Amino acid sequence: MSHNVESTAFRSALEVIRAVEPRVADAIGAELADQRESLKLIASENYASPATLLAMGNWFSDKYAEGTVGRRFYAGCQNVDTVEALAAEHAKELFGAAHAYVQPHSGIDANLVAFWAILADRVESPALKKAQVRQVNDLTEADWFALRRELGNQRMLGMSLDAGGHLTHGFRPNISGKMFDQRSYGTDPATGLIDYDRVAEAAREFKPLILVAGYSAYPRKVNFRVMREIADSVGATFMVDMAHFAGLVAGKVFTGDFDPVPHAHIVTTTTHKSLRGPRGGMVLCGPELADQVDRGCPMVLGGPLPHVMAAKAVALAEARRPDFADYAQRIVDNARALADGLLRRGATLVTGGTDNHLVLIDVSGYGLTGRQAEQALLDSGIVTNRNAVPQDPNGAWYTSGIRIGTPALTTRGLGTAEMDATAELMHTVLTQTSAGTGPDGAPSKAKYVLDPATAESVGKQAADLLTPFPLYPEVELG
């Protein structure tokens, strides 16, 4: 049995947990076992380092720390100041940003901070000016009415959901869709690519306060220089949500026109996904928005999570190491290899391939919905998620697509040869799965038929593929 420091740390932690609630300890151990045994192809997931994971389980969790570094509403935050300042310092150096705000609990929170910072900076009214200087007690009911009307009546232009955009870019199920009068830009129906001329035309017609770029299921690069020119042409604030591809920016795979930080007024991101940190969010901006961004708590955030900010500092420090750039490049190399392997086997891919970390498969060619394909692959040890494709006839629940990504498998050390083998396993499952029927015999969008022997065989092959690439090899739980 291993007696290295990582194994000792995690075994000891589980022993302490087990003494209080053994079922939680069992679930934690089972989660590690499940992740070790499956091909994780969810584009938004990764594996944080043991150092990052351990940075979250400590006494920082016990601290309230509303405010910012050096300006807290609670006493005794000097150590929180240290880790928050370190996380911000690493973020600024890593991305070349003037200002970094590392308190958001998630990507959605980061976007809310950005939206309200832009609104507070851009919308002029006597009520808002009073609120900005915190003269809240002086606001009359008429002031509040005017403030609500002005802040809730602004326009946002962002990428449509079926083209690869995100719920937080102004869609009704999310609070952003209730805050803004939103309109979407899509992609070219023939190519699946962003048509910048059409985006410019939509911006001229709609005149948004905020132009949002960024995606959760668009498998190509975005030209942020052109998008900034479009925003400037209509006087819009240009915001980029780089949650999915932040690791590719940090690793200098996306540079020049494809690096959002030099071009956007404000950039948001998560710190997990391709950045390989803890679950959380972050905002980057220039000095003109820094004061508004730093009011994220209490503007839209609750108390910061100091233990997660500590983990962010560790992960961002890791991302500044030279080997992270190699990792980021291998993410893209693996995604291209996976896309090529699927194409050679007859799959239909949105945009015909990828330039980033993700691949979007249109599974309608297999006679399946995304929901059917997702579950059949899961039965076979391959973890993916269903996703809409442009002009998806099955909507956002059943979908016609499967989104896959390579950050997690790249962390494990798999390379292009293993990506081709993964494409073969996926091809086997998708070609051997057929749509099922409901109780009334009508075609079902959820039920499917897959021979259990096929699922078992593919699952064993997937496990064999992973054997040379152990997950957390430094951690043995005994």
For residues 239 and 211, is the Cβ–Cβ distance under 8 A? yes
241 labelled catalytic: yes
For residues 430 and 363, is the Cβ–Cβ distance under 8 A? yes
Selected catalytic residue, list 168, 269, 270, 411: 270
**Token reading at 88:** 């911000």
386 labelled catalytic: no
Selected catalytic residue, list 273, 336, 386, 403: 273
Alpha-carbon distance values, 290 to 97, 113, 238 (Å) = 11, 11, 15
Token pair 């494409």 in the structure block, residue: 423
Buried b / exposed e along 129-163 (16+ C-beta atoms within 10 A): ebbeeeeeeebeeebeebbeeebeebbbbbbbbbb
Selected catalytic residue, list 11, 45, 63, 66: 66
- Report the distance separating Cα 193 and Cα 218, nearest Å: 8
Helix spans in 168-305 (H): 175-179, 196-206, 224-233, 246-250, 287-293, 296-299
Selected catalytic residue, list 36, 64, 221, 257: 64
- Report the distance separating Cα 148 and Cα 94, nearest Å: 37
- Report the distance separating Cα 393 and Cα 205, nearest Å: 28
For strands 382-383 and 39-40, give the pairing: parallel
291 labelled catalytic: no
For strands 401-405 and 434-437, give the pairing: unpaired
472 labelled catalytic: no
Half-sphere exposure (Cβ direction) of 21: Cα atoms closer than 13 Å: 4
64 labelled catalytic: yes
Token pair 């990828």 in the structure block, residue: 354
Ramachandran sector of residue 67 (left: φ over 0; alpha: ψ -120 to 50; beta: rest): left
Selected catalytic residue, list 18, 279, 345, 447: 279
Selected catalytic residue, list 84, 162, 241, 418: 241
Contacts of 315 (CB under 8 A, 6+ apart): 48, 49, 52, 271, 275, 276, 277, 278
37 labelled catalytic: no
Q: Active-site residues: which are they?
A: 64, 66, 241, 270, 273, 279
